Amino acid sequence: MHDGGTLQANYAIFEYMNSSGIYLQTTAMLDTSFPLTNCTFRNGASGGCLIYLNNSQTVTITWANFPENTWGGSYNVKKINNAGAVTFAQYTGAFSGAAFESDTYNRINWQALAPVENMTISYLSATNRIQLSWSYSQSFSRFRIYRAATPNGDFQPVGTATSTTWWEVLPGSKYFYRVTAEQD
């Protein structure tokens, strides 16, 4: 993104980029209403990075996915400006985390919560509902529930829960669910 530009995207896939990946120059910004939430970054250039931050913005990117590095990239995220910070909250993927970053001034933060485990789905015929149940090993504020028509589909939010159980009226013949924890 050139100086003075603004990038906005949520629920997008960024791939087949050059060695700088998504490059935010000194005065370029991420739109805080669309700060790359639920975006996937993959298939970059060999020896390159997927996100290159040279700006001074402080921003949080939530649910970023960095799948396995099958393209030979050097970094997931690179930050060389000693101003601003980026926090990746609830990130996923084998190429995510501090082990794969280039962060000269320690301005990239990775905050992950443990994944939801042992999720089961039951059909409650008496009420024509499905019930999701799961276990969780850490303290939490709430869970967010997402649903998609296919396993790799566009997961849309359908509810929240403050316990490890949630239900809804049967929405159709076949859906896939994802549950994530949140901590205030």
The residue assigned the tokens 């995220």 is 77
Kindly state whether residues 127 and 149 are assigned to the same domain. Answer: yes
Nearest alpha-carbon partner for 119 in 175, 166, 156, 151: 166
> Among residues 67, 84, 111, which one ends one of the domains?
111
Mean of all residue pLDDT scores within the chain: 92
Pairing mode of beta strands 29-35, 6-9: parallel
Average pLDDT score over residue span 128-144: 90
Domain with 124, as residue range(s), is 117-182
User: What is the torsional sign of CA 16, 13, 66, 111?
Assistant: positive
Q: How many domains in the chain? A: 2
Backbone angles phi, psi at 16, to 5 degrees: 55, 45
Tokens of residue 29, six digits: 């910004």
HSE-CB at 155 with a 13 A cutoff on CA atoms is 17
Largest pairwise CA distance in the chain: 60
Asked if pLDDT for residue 130 goes beyond 80, the answer is yes
pLDDT of residue 97: 93
Last-in-domain residue among 111, 138, 157:
111
What is the reported pLDDT for 184? 64
Q: Are 102 and 75 in contact (CB under 8 A)?
A: yes
* Same-domain check for residues 25 and 43: yes
Choose one of 77, 111, 145: the last residue of a domain: 111
Looking at residue 52, what is its pLDDT? 96
Segment 82-103 mean pLDDT: 93
Would strands 22-24 and 49-53 be described as parallel, antiparallel, or unpaired?
parallel
Mean pLDDT, residues 140-154 taken together: 87
